[in-house]
């Protein structure tokens, strides 16, 4: 007897999730995009199907357009699918479609044609409206959609992308937290606290690791004040060198000069979570 083909899973009656405010600006996610291209480039180059998802891109498609441009610096045949829960936003984005760039109606189920598994899902400024106790389930759902070697990047930034914090996750769960800033506009590293992702923003209180990290970062920044005469970048790099003595700073050191620092997730994870 011929073996029957498994039936596909039933279609979701409606997209999973809620519409965001839709706020977007050109170049808002440039810091996140450049980090992705630099740190995830090898996986993009190895992938047999280098498709990325810009989840919840908002009222205008600029972030999806820009993500495609930046990923193609490391993988020229990369493609991007912008996924939005608001059908009107999808319709408005359709005129911007071109080779390698398309838009789809959906939510956290991440619907892709042909049941493709993305090598990257970027979800920026999407989870801020959710409760903290909802985040883990959303992360798990999105990570389950990733291709082997895939990456989920979820975080928050200000309206013009000067301050940004994101969590990078693989299929196994969260890996790292990255803090990124336009250094010329930064008074202290703890200014980034207001951009912590939902999983961490309510944990910036005494007794929580992320609060201790930002406290120590501010102290290192203050101690590095003499280096400000050489520029904010030199002060930032010196601060991270001091911080790395007590915190598991990871990733390439050349990223520090870009106004970034990445720390292992387990060092900042909420107490009891």
pLDDT digits (tens, 9 = 90+) for 95-132: 999 999 999 999 999 999 888 999 999 999 999 889 99
Of all residues in the chain, the percent with pLDDT exceeding 90 is: 86
- Please state whether beta strands 163-170 and 151-157 pair in parallel, antiparallel, or not at all (unpaired): antiparallel
Q: How far is CA 227 from CA 95, 188, 242, 254, 273, in A?
A: 49, 14, 13, 18, 37
Q: 114-118, 198-202, 266-270 — which is least confidently predicted?
A: 114-118
- Tell me the pLDDT band of 12, cut-offs 50, 70 and 90: very low
- Report the distance separating Cα 216 and Cα 47, nearest Å: 39
What average pLDDT does this structure show over 179-202? 97
Residue 9 confidence (pLDDT): 41
pLDDT of residue 200 exceeding 60, the answer is: yes
Residue 21 confidence (pLDDT): 67
> Between residues 6 and 200, which one has the greater pLDDT?
200
Residue 14 confidence (pLDDT): 81
What are the structural domains of the chain? Answer: 30-267 (3.40.50.150)
What average pLDDT does this structure show over 137-153? 96
DSSP string, 133-180: GGHHHHHHHHHTTPPTT-EEEEEEE-TTSSEEEEEEEETTEEEEEEEE
- Report the distance separating Cα 119 and Cα 43, nearest Å: 8
Neighbours of 194 (CB within 10 A): 12
- Report the distance separating Cα 273 and Cα 138, nearest Å: 15
Q: Match 């970048």 to its residue by tokens.
A: 233
Mean pLDDT rounded to a whole number for the chain: 92
Closest to 58 (Cα-Cα) out of 98, 25, 24, 81: 24
H or E element, residue 123: strand 120-124
Of all residues in the chain, the percent with pLDDT exceeding 70 is: 93
Model-level pTM?
0.92
- Report the distance separating Cα 151 and Cα 153, nearest Å: 6
Residue 273 confidence (pLDDT): 55
- Report the distance separating Cα 209 and Cα 68, nearest Å: 35
């Amino acid at each position: 007897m011929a073996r029957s083909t498994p039936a596909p899973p039933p279609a979701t009656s409606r997209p999973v999730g809620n519409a965001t405010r839709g706020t977007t600006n050109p170049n808002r996610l440039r810091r996140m995009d450049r980090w992705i291209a630099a740190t995830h480039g090898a996986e993009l180059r190895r992938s047999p199907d280098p498709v990325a998802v810009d989840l919840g891109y908002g009222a205008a498609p600029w972030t999806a357009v820009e993500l495609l441009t930046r990923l193609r610096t490391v993988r020229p045949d990369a493609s991007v699918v912008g996924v939005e829960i608001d059908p009107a936003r999808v319709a408005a984005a359709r005129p911007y479609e071109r080779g390698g760039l398309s838009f789809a109606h959906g939510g956290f189920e991440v619907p892709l044609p042909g049941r493709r598994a993305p090598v990257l899902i970027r979800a920026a400024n999407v989870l801020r409206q959710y409760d903290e106790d909802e985040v883990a389930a959303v992360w798990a759902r999105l990570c389950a959609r990733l291709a082997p070697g895939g990456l989920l990047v979820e975080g928050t930034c200000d309206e013009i992308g000067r301050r940004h914090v994101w969590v990078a996750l693989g299929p196994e769960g969260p890996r790292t937290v990255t803090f990124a800033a336009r250094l010329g506009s930064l008074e202290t590293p703890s200014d980034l606290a207001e951009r912590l992702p939902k999983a961490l923003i309510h944990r910036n209180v005494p007794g929580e690791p992320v609060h201790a990290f930002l406290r120590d970062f501010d102290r290192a920044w203050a101690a590095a004040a003499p280096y400000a005469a050489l520029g904010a970048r030199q002060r930032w790099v010196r601060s991270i060198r001091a911080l790395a003595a007590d915190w598991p700073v990871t990733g390439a050191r050349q990223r520090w000069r870009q106004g970034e620092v990445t720390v292992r997730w387990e060092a900042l994870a909420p107490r009891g979570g």
